[in-house]
Amino acid sequence: MVDRARRVPAWAWLTVIVLASFLLRAWLARGMLAPFIMVDELIYSELARSIAADGALRVRDVPAAGFSVVYPLLISPAYAVFDNLPAAYAAVKTLNALFMSLAAVPAYFLARRVLTPPLSLVASLLAVALPSLVYTGTVMTENVFYPLFLTTALVLVLVLERPTPARQAVLLGLVVLAFGTRVQAVAIVPAILAAPLLLAVLQGRPLRATLRPFRALYAVILGAGLLVLAAQSARGRSVSDLVGAYSVVGEGDYEPAEVARFFLYHVAELDLYLGVLPFAAFVIVAALARRLGPSVGAFAAAGIALSVSLLLVVAAFASVFANRIQERNTFVVAPFFLIGLLVWVERAAPRPPALAGAAAIGTALLPLAIPFDRFIETGAISDTLAVLPIWAAFGSLLFDSIDATVLAGGALAAALFLLVPRRYALALPLVTLAFFAAMSHNVWVGERGFKQASGGALFQGIRTGDRDWIDDAVPDGAKVAIVWTGVSDRFVVNQNEFFNRSVGPIYYVGGPTPGGLAETEVRIDEDGGAVRLAGNDALDERYVLLDGTISPDRGVEVARDPGLGLTLWRLDEPLVSSQTEIAGLYPNDTWSGKRVTFTRRNCRGGTLSVAITSDPALFDQPQTVTARIAGRVAKRARIAPAGKALLHVPLRPQNGDCRVVFDVSETKVPAEMTNGTSTDTRELGAHFNDFHVTR
């Protein structure tokens, strides 16, 4: 059977790897119910929709310059073919599975520069086994940037091997394409400039002789840079303006010490992400590059240059703007380390005592440089996948210590690296593959994995069961405005506009939704309750989605999302609402504390319906919620931990206002109930999901 497998051409095996990866990723992506990396996923879907509509670049119908264009362009056919946005979303995830799986092709040819075909196929398999391929379930540029980055890396290696004019031209073209896909591709430029210098060092060649064939490449890059500087100076603009929406990055106040600290964090996290073994092997391969041949020298020079440059750029950004480890921006360099591990295996696993010991021990200890307590937080779910299995292990860590657990894992990897006999060295890539599989399972379906995050984001934004419920409720071509008051979660806006073509424009009272996208401020007159724009003009929209704090005095209910207290109204005149205040709920949340107070100004009576649920994760006994009017009990409900209640309370005006006070019998603090697993120190009572007034 082995002989028969060897007779199958490499291209056939590579096709099988791509196809198998595509089918697996497309199937898994079906489990992603909604986007959760906001507002990024919303931006790229909006750009793709506008391209599909008329070729323009718009977000919320506003021209959008400076965003990456290649990815929205590639997924725009999904929005052109499917009018139904949930169907278009499913098509985008299928395209993502194809894009990411195609990374196996440049990974194979990159590996072929230094490996035989069989191990190059193993490299291509490892490249599409990375946990980061979970991003196929998101509407994010990573899906295109990963294969494009590997293609650019391959051409850089080819240029280092033989810097012909044609190869250099292709390399520069790919850099432009990569920059159009993701602004962070700017890091490739200094890597190209540094790679020939590293090649001279690694191969022990004379510097001048090594750099001579690259003179034209340096001249073009430096000339283009000077031309850009001159053009921007003549226009009175800064270079950072060229990246449009990302121009703020060029204006950051970067501190060298902080950038260096974040660079160390990112290097250490990449080591952890890879499972130590590939990192240790790459160190040895790079150190022995002169002995292992010119092809290994070119490969190592490109790998070091691209990795250092990319990690440095990402670290600088993270030190000012993100304040977390952004692994999703660095995982693209992982194939260099995986191929390095296979080169080490194929070259008989060289282990010079001092070098091997330093590489194994150093890479085993390196992850301890990460302050895990600082970076294991909600933002890690989307950005720092390597820490999610550690987070999931809280409560069962070795000696109840993150550092002890990480050290034990690193020590085991170092022992394998140093002690596995050479004839069994191929087991180490297989161990790495198994490590990726275990990590991917946790990242995908774990308690804090992508599938859970996706479902949670949908639950926070839409609970009707139909994601395009607004489109279904209004005529074709109708526009539905959303007025966001800050009472409901920001996902109410983001999810509904993501899945419904009719949604837009977006208005807000008090403060906008996070993300900095186009929104218009409105205010509510205290006297008459008219909702007005900045110029005092009345808000006049035919259809509007409102939460329970705004209830039109005149309008027709078209549809409701009672789980979130949302009502879709049809209005025949400008929006006027009796002012409603809800005190006692936490901002952008349905959780209450001990007491919630509902107040409606200029009230003309009616009935207030309130939907309330408990939470079995916190409460193991029923709670009682009591509604009082003027101190007297109006209604009372007993709610089981997994139960719900609907209170119908009569509204009785007193001095023109209606006021209802709700008291919750028992509250809990999550941080105290979970022994520190949760960092939520709020005193929580019950979920007040819906306030709805009828007359």
Task: Please report the domains of the chain, with CATH numbers, ordered by start residue.
Answer: 2-453 (no CATH), 463-577 (no CATH), 579-695 (2.60.120)
Question: Span 135-142, mean pLDDT?
Answer: 98
The alpha-helical segments, DSSP class H, found in 185-293 are 188-203, 207-211, 215-234, 256-274, 277-287, 289-292
Residue 247 has pLDDT above 70, yes or no: no
Reference 142, options 88, 91, 99; nearest CA is 99
Cα–Cα dist 235/249, whole Å? 20
Radius of gyration of the chain (CA): 29
Q: Which pLDDT does position 251 carry in this prediction? A: 64
Q: Tens of pLDDT along 251-271? A: 668 899 999 999 999 999 999
Would you say 645 and 625 are in contact if contact means Cβ atoms under 8 Å apart? Answer: yes
Cα–Cα dist 451/44, whole Å? 20
The alpha-helical segments, DSSP class H, found in 500-640 are none
Ramachandran quadrant class, 66 (left: phi over 0; alpha: psi -120 to 50; beta: rest): left
Share of residues in the chain with pLDDT > 70 (%):
97
Cα–Cα dist 193/350, whole Å? 30
Reference 71, options 154, 150, 155, 139; nearest CA is 139
The top-scoring range by mean pLDDT among 98-102, 376-380, 520-524, 583-587 is 98-102
Q: Tens of pLDDT along 148-171? A: 999 999 999 999 999 999 999 999
Q: Tens of pLDDT along 308-321? A: 999 999 999 999 98
Q: Angle at CA 121, nearest 5°, toward 118 and 124?
A: 160
Q: Which residues of 559-597 are buried (b: 16+ CB within 10 A; e: fewer)?
A: bbbebbbbbbbbbeeebbbbbbebebbeebebbbbeebe
Asked whether the whole model's pTM tops 0.85, one would answer yes
Question: Span 588-614, mean pLDDT?
Answer: 90
Query: Which residues 6+ apart lie within 8 Å of 195 measured at CB?
Result: 156, 160, 301, 302, 305, 306
Token digits of residue 429:
């890539």
Token digits of residue 279:
């990192």
Q: Which residues pair with 684 in a beta bridge?
A: 668
Report long-range pairs for 451-456 (Cβ below 8 Å, ≥24 apart).
Answer: 451/31, 451/32, 451/137, 453/36, 453/381, 453/382, 454/31, 454/32, 454/33, 454/34, 454/35, 454/36, 454/137, 455/33, 455/34, 456/36
Q: Which residues pair with 627 in a beta bridge?
A: 635, 662
Q: Tens of pLDDT along 14-58? A: 999 999 999 999 999 999 999 999 999 999 999 999 999 999 999
Distances (CA, A) of 463 to 458, 561, 582: 7, 6, 21
Question: Coil, strand or helix: which one is 400?
Answer: helix
Q: Tens of pLDDT along 615-646? A: 998 999 999 999 999 999 999 999 999 999 99
Token digits of residue 490:
């920001």
Q: Which pLDDT does position 3 carry in this prediction? A: 65
- pLDDT-derived band at 536 (thresholds 50, 70, 90) equals confident
Cα–Cα dist 542/487, whole Å? 23
Question: Coil, strand or helix: which one is 571?
Answer: coil
Q: Tens of pLDDT along 185-235? A: 999 999 999 999 999 999 999 999 999 999 999 999 999 888 888 887 787
Cα–Cα dist 146/163, whole Å? 24
Residue 245 has pLDDT above 60, yes or no: no
- pLDDT-derived band at 435 (thresholds 50, 70, 90) equals very high
Q: Which pLDDT does position 1 carry in this prediction? A: 59
Q: Which pLDDT does position 668 carry in this prediction? A: 93
Q: Which pLDDT does position 549 carry in this prediction? A: 85
Q: Which pLDDT does position 680 carry in this prediction? A: 85
Q: Which pLDDT does position 275 carry in this prediction? A: 98
Would you say 362 and 446 are in contact if contact means Cβ atoms under 8 Å apart? Answer: no
